[in-house]
Structure 1
Amino acid sequence: MTDQRSQAELVRQSLKRRYRKERRFRLYGIVAIFIALASLFILFADIIGKGHTGFVKTTITLDVTLDSETMYLDDPTDKDQIAMADFVAPIIAALQDHFPNAEGRAAKRELGRLVGSYAASDIRDLLEANPDLLNTTQTMEFLAHDTVSVYVKHADDPSYSIRLSEQQQAWVDELLEKGVVDTSFNDVLFSRGDSREPGNAGILGAIVGSLFTMLVTLAISFPVGIAAAIYLEEFAPQNRLTDFIEVNINNLAAVPSIIFGLLGLAVFIGLFGMPRSVPVVGGLVLALMTLPTIIISSRAAIKSVPPSIREAAEGIGASKMQVVLHHVVPLAMPGMLTGSIIGMAQALGETAPLLLIGMVAFIVDVPDGFFSSATVLPVQIYLWASSSEQGFVELASAGIMVLLAFMISMNALAIWLRKRLERRW
């Protein structure tokens, strides 16, 4: 009887130790999840904190007198006169209307630095489009200079260095009180390509370049990946060759992406002589990188189809091809689509392979085709993040927010498709 009690006591002690270990293990899991969520929160807070001002632009609204004598321009339709005209003078004159005491060459130079360098181009474009506006007064909105924008948005933030002189700061403060300097949604960010000045830089060119690159990637990787998965899972004989192929596909899924960039540089550019920095080459490289992911996920989706489906189709006289194409593939398609979308989202965020094929070039114009020089959104963010200009720091963070929005949307679409189309057996 005593032995039985001691045995029962040992069992109870063992159970207590086991339960304590389970509680500790559960606690470790909760702590790990908390650390991951906290890190994610800190990351997003930092990105949003730096990037939200990237969606705000600073403008200066002036009543500009397009005086022909001031600009040394008599005929806006004459290209030679347009090329030699002084379009900065009317802007400085408009600013002097607010600050009559700003006289002298140095003061005018400081006034001219309040507006961006593209302000003169705005006046030139206006007169070229409407020559009849010469010698009239027009209310025009100009993008402020980057230093003015930083001062308006970050004057109270000690981490940002203010590069305006005290006189310029006083002028900007006065213009803010008058409502001449104002902030609004930065539509420039989504309507222009890259620029040397942060105030004029946008991500439209990078978005279009990413779109063209993703279309090439999808057109190659999706049909090839689906076809390879169907063949390997349904038709390929089990021998050393197919085992070798399967092992290499699994290995390729773990290869660093920069290796695919080296492959694209050596084969597509070095061997075939294709141009650098074009969406076609970028799409080919990303398609090679995405193929293993699509093949593996598609094979898993095909394996998930119950054998009874195949047996029932074969029982009514369907051929092997009919079984696969009419029954197995339609039922596995939700999983295939999910894996393909996740693979495309991974390709959308890649930077390293595209740097090696030249898509790191400074591209101002928005690409208009698959063979136009282009960059992509992750590379554009990389370029801005490596710049020393303070305005590019917030643009890089704003670009990261846009890229994350695209990637989250693609992953949400994959989840929705899986829930919408999947069938439970």
Structure 2
Amino acid sequence: MIKRKKKNKQDNPFYDPALKARHASANRFKKFTLTSLIFSIAFLAFFLFDIVGKGLPAFNVAYIKVDVTYNESTLADSRYAVESKYRNVVSRAWLRDVPNFVKQNPELMNTTKETWVLADDQVDQYLKGHYNKLKSKNIALVDELYAQGLIEKRFNTVFFTNGDSKIPEYAGLYSAMIGSVLTLIITMIVAFPIGVMTAIYLEEFAGDNKFTRFIEININNLAAIPSILFGLLGLAIFINLFGMPRSSPLVGGLTLALMTLPIIIVSSRAALRAVPDSIRQAGYGLGLNKIQVTRDHVLPLAFPGVLTGSIIGLAQAMGETAPLIIIGMIAFIPDAPTMVTQAATVMPAQLFTWAGMPEGTYIEKTAAGIMVLLTILISLNAIAIYLRKKFEVKW
């Protein structure tokens, strides 16, 4: 029997060891990138799952149905509004507001009504199966009331209608949301026109010289420095030098405007640069000057990119905490500001404060606040994409 000689790859005249090594290296790189992508998605999914799992319970809060008495004793000491056995399971903040409620509704004087009352945060945590500090007699009372249908969970409107509070179940995001809106209004009023005008000048009118190159280098460097440095700059200029009110949306908006300016300038210049030179040349051929060409032709075509970059810069500013901590916008603010010069806080700073609280209710509200903030940021980015698609011009 004749045995055939086994051929080796080395006997193939087209065999190239270097080519094989390159293919193996390419396969390894492909597997590495795929593994990195899977790891990133898994980390993001775990983060979102953890935040949603902790935050969803905060949107429900416990209420207890008890008899509430409105009389002179109630006005003198609100604790007498309910029976003594309920005082440890009813929200102290709710009891504190009873005298004001009676003054606003004088017809309730000298009456007793069965009312759904906000429960204490420890009762709420007990009903959710979380760690709590309720005593055994209060646990027995809560179980009895729950069995009788006198305790129920409702949507937590307090979270969206109240400001910060030292009493956990009464703390909300309302004042922080108003402060964020006022701060971002100041930011856009200052940063958008200055940033766009600067981009137009550098891209359309400025010559290529040492001065403009120096400005461009510094703008690019400002876009990369840590945000906390902008807080120090705002503290030094707006508060210490100009004497503006500390912790106000005015100072916060101006500080965030300094941080957002480089982003708007860079994105606006990129949008202007994307407009074909043929548009400019056609305008010059019709006898238009440079200002008319830029105002009537170049800027309208670049506007979708300019708007997109500005909205993204606004979204980034909304999520900033470090520069606002430096200028004092992390203070305890229970009431929503009505003017840009009043003391205020913003959502990221409010969440930072809650994250340091030991009570379980604050942990829930921190996660719920993160969900609200992420929803707003995603919405802003979605609006930017929509506007870019809507106003995009096909050349």
| TM-score interval (norm. to shorter) | over 0.9
Where do 1:320-335 residues align within 5 Å?
320-335=290-305
Select the residue among 111, 126, 135 that pairs with 1:136.
Answer: 111
Residue 55 of structure 1 pairs with residue 59 of structure 2 = yes
SS in structure 2 of the partner of residue 138 of structure 1: strand
Query: Which sits farther off after the overlay, 127-136 or 284-293?
Result: 127-136
Which residue in 2 is equivalent to 1:26?
A: 30
Which residue in 1 is equivalent to 2:73?
A: 72
Percent of counterpart pairs with the same letter?
48
Structure 1, residues 41-94: CA drift from partner, whole Å, max 9, x if none?
11111111111111111111223243x4xx537xxxxxxxx4xx23322311xx
Distance 1:357 1:321 in 2: 40
Distance 1:179 1:17 in 2: 73
Which residue in 1 is equivalent to 2:332?
A: 362
SS in structure 1 of the partner of residue 14 of structure 2: helix
Query: Which sits farther off after the overlay, 211-220 or 175-184?
Result: 175-184
User: Structure 1-normalised TM-score?
Assistant: 0.88
Select the residue among 74, 79, 84 that pairs with 1:88.
Answer: 79
Where do 1:19-418 residues align within 5 Å?
19-66=23-70, 68=71, 71-72=72-73, 82=75, 85-92=76-83, 108=84, 111-153=86-128, 155=129, 160-418=130-388
Letter in 1 for 2:31: L
Letter in 1 for 2:350: Q
Residue 421 of structure 1 pairs with residue 387 of structure 2 = no
SS in structure 2 of the partner of residue 358 of structure 1: coil
Distance 2:165 2:237 in 1: 32
SS in structure 2 of the partner of residue 372 of structure 1: coil
Which residue in 2 is equivalent to 1:102?
A: none
Letter in 1 for 2:92: S
Query: Which sits farther off after the overlay, 368-377 or 23-32?
Result: 23-32
Structure 1, residues 292-322: CA drift from partner, whole Å, max 9, x if none?
0000000001111111111111111111111
Distance 2:268 2:307 in 1: 8
Letter in 1 for 2:122: T
Contact 1:61 1:141 in 2 (8 A): yes
SS in structure 2 of the partner of residue 59 of structure 1: strand
Distance 2:320 2:248 in 1: 15
Distance 1:286 1:189 in 2: 26
Distance 2:174 2:68 in 1: 30
Contact 1:198 1:395 in 2 (8 A): no
Gaps of 5+ in 1: 74-81, 93-107
Contact 2:223 2:262 in 1 (8 A): yes
